[in-house]
Amino acid sequence: MKILLVYPEFPDTFWSFKHALKFVHKKAGAPPLGLLTVAALLPAEWEKRLVDLNVETLTQADLAWADYVFLSAMVVQRESARAIISRCKASGAKVVAGGPLFTMEHEQFPEVDYFVLNEAELTLPPFLDDLAHGRAQRTYTTTEYPDIRQTPAPLWHLANLKHYDTVSIQFSRGCPFNCDFCNVTSLLGHRPRTKTAAQIVAELDSLYALGWRRNVFFVDDNFIGNKKQIKTEVLPALIEWRKGKVGMSFNTEASINLADDPELLRLMADAGFDTVFVGIETPNEASLTECSKSQNKGRDLVESVKRMQRAGLQVQGGFIVGFDHDSASIFQQQIDFIQKSGIVTAMVGLLQAPPGTRLFDRMKQEGRLVDSISGDNVDGSTNIIPAMGLEPLREGYRKLLSQIYSPQEYYARVMTFLREYKPPKVRFPLEPQYILALGRSIHQLGIRGVERAQYWRLFFWTLFRKPRLFPVAITLAVYGFHFRQVVELHVM
């Protein structure tokens, strides 16, 4: 059997980092973890190829070679997925589809031959068995959650890793919280299910053996969902694994209560974590109550962020405007919070209601659903009718983004962060591409860019006052270039 695994293209979005990746001559952020894991679940004797449209093209020869095309996608990849399905149908290739997009919207894709939905550890085996016996059904789904201690390591060798800046791995699935706009729990459950520390070490060993020394993103819904296991098993194992090794910085996603545990912060820094994404959402307590974001309430959010920064973690933040309890003042409140906290990478989006969430059900009951979600966090779209009115919301949103990503505000935020940040002691090899990236940043930002004055101020301030942080400063300057392109493309 010949299986072609195809990953759709991402549009130019906040998290695509397309404009920043050009500085280090990379084509995409990370290879598709889901498809590479599915590949490992397929019979070993089957032939398998990966085509990631973010780094290469899908040819007619690829489609002619395949017995089946396995397609996985997120919502933001919807349009590219449709185009792939059309090409498969035109060439006669049978399509097997799964992943978040199809799990939520499979009724919208009548041309797909087979749907293997939810988590493949449970739905793929019965499909493969039925396929082998000539009785395959169109849809395979489940309400159960698999034990991911049985999940095999992804088949990294199918991906050409030289094209990527980051590789994703996963320790856990699920989140103990219940934010009403988030579909993680409807897809993956409330109880975090975890791999063993030995599994994680084995996955890192395989990457290290392939020569990988760059970023590793733990794509957990909430890395600290099971704090006891993280503190007693996983982080000590990562600290031990790191001894004598060079490179591989880690980043992940976690809830704000990470800031309350000094021991956990220390262990994460010692293990090589240097970045964490946190769902801040809003400084408005009434809106936090509205969306059941209980873990963020009743705390000094700015101080929580700075505590993590001082522990060696750059905090990337998710923010939302458009809650029912948001007034016209929310936009300036968000600007003030983002600038004061030093959250450089601040993803601000309009409130959206994904299917399967409590927010979706409430909006449907109130007759306030207007469209499907785009899956793009910063394109200025929403599928609900906001309480403040759509035009006031969009106008305030445009002003918010244009301000926080203006060169003056952005570089001021970078320096606020750098004054606070204490980086972890992880050794990284000096690769030629980093030196070339510095040269490109000087040319693009320091000579040609609208941010010339801010760039050179940051350049020399960091070089003389915080020399250890000079690579971080230049990286963030490059990120700023990307964010401005995205904001100008989608919002302005």
The DSSP secondary-structure symbol of 68 reads E
SS3 384: strand
SS3 201: helix
The residues, ordered by sequence, that sit 6+ positions from 248 with a Cβ below 8 Å of its Cβ are 204, 207, 208, 212, 213, 214, 215, 216, 242, 272, 426
Q: How do residues 221-240 score in pLDDT, each as one tens digit?
A: 999 999 999 999 999 999 99
In a domain, 156, yes or no: no
In the block, which residue shows the tokens 């549009």?
11
Q: Are both 122 and 217 inside the same structural domain?
A: no
Is pLDDT at 492 greater than 70 in this prediction? no
In a domain, 242, yes or no: yes
Residue 433: the pLDDT is: 75
In a domain, 182, yes or no: yes
- Name the amino acid, one letter, at 222: N
Among 386, 418, 450, residue at a domain's last position = 418
Domain count, the chain: 2
In a domain, 226, yes or no: yes
Share of the chain above pLDDT 70, in %: 99
Residue 337: the pLDDT is: 98
Determine what percent of the chain falls in helix, strand and coil, rounding each to the nearest 5.
50, 15, 35
Overall average pLDDT of the 413-434 stretch: 83
In a domain, 424, yes or no: no
Residue 440: the pLDDT is: 95
Residue 425: the pLDDT is: 74
Overall average pLDDT of the 98-117 stretch: 97
CA distance 491 to 485: 10
Share of the chain above pLDDT 90, in %: 91
CB atoms within 10 A of CB 272: 23
Q: Which domain holds residue 194?
A: 165-418
Among 418, 433, 465, residue at a domain's last position = 418
In the block, which residue shows the tokens 């209560």?
257
CA distance 123 to 185: 18
Overall average pLDDT of the 459-485 stretch: 95
- Please state, rounded to an integer, the average pLDDT across all residues of the chain: 95
The residues, ordered by sequence, that sit 6+ positions from 112 with a Cβ below 8 Å of its Cβ are 71, 85, 95, 96, 97, 102, 106
Q: How do residues 8-43 score in pLDDT, each as one tens digit?
A: 999 999 999 999 999 999 999 999 999 999 999 999
Q: Are both 123 and 220 inside the same structural domain?
A: no
In a domain, 442, yes or no: no
Residue 260: the pLDDT is: 97
Q: Are both 45 and 193 inside the same structural domain?
A: no
Q: Are both 135 and 253 inside the same structural domain?
A: no
Q: Are both 270 and 388 inside the same structural domain?
A: yes
Q: Are both 134 and 170 inside the same structural domain?
A: no
CA distance 271 to 39: 29
Among 123, 140, 157, residue at a domain's last position = 140
Is pLDDT at 429 greater than 70 in this prediction? no
Overall average pLDDT of the 268-287 stretch: 96
- Residues shown for the chain: 492
Q: Are both 135 and 185 inside the same structural domain?
A: no
For the ranges 96-110, 149-163, 294-308, 429-443, the lowest mean pLDDT is seen at 429-443
Q: How do residues 341-377 score in pLDDT, each as one tens digit?
A: 999 999 999 999 999 999 999 999 999 999 889 988 8
- Going by pLDDT thresholds of 50, 70 and 90, the confidence category of residue 490 is confident
Is pLDDT at 133 greater than 70 in this prediction? yes
Q: Are both 183 and 122 inside the same structural domain?
A: no
The residues, ordered by sequence, that sit 6+ positions from 312 with a Cβ below 8 Å of its Cβ are 265, 268, 269, 273, 274, 421, 422, 423, 424
In a domain, 461, yes or no: no
The angle formed by the CA atoms of residues 246, 433 and 440, to the nearest 5 degrees, is: 140
Is pLDDT at 432 greater than 80 in this prediction? no
pTM of the model: 0.95
CA distance 143 to 58: 34
- The domain spanning residue 242 has which CATH number? 3.80.30.20
- Going by pLDDT thresholds of 50, 70 and 90, the confidence category of residue 427 is low
- Higher pLDDT: 246 or 128? It is 128
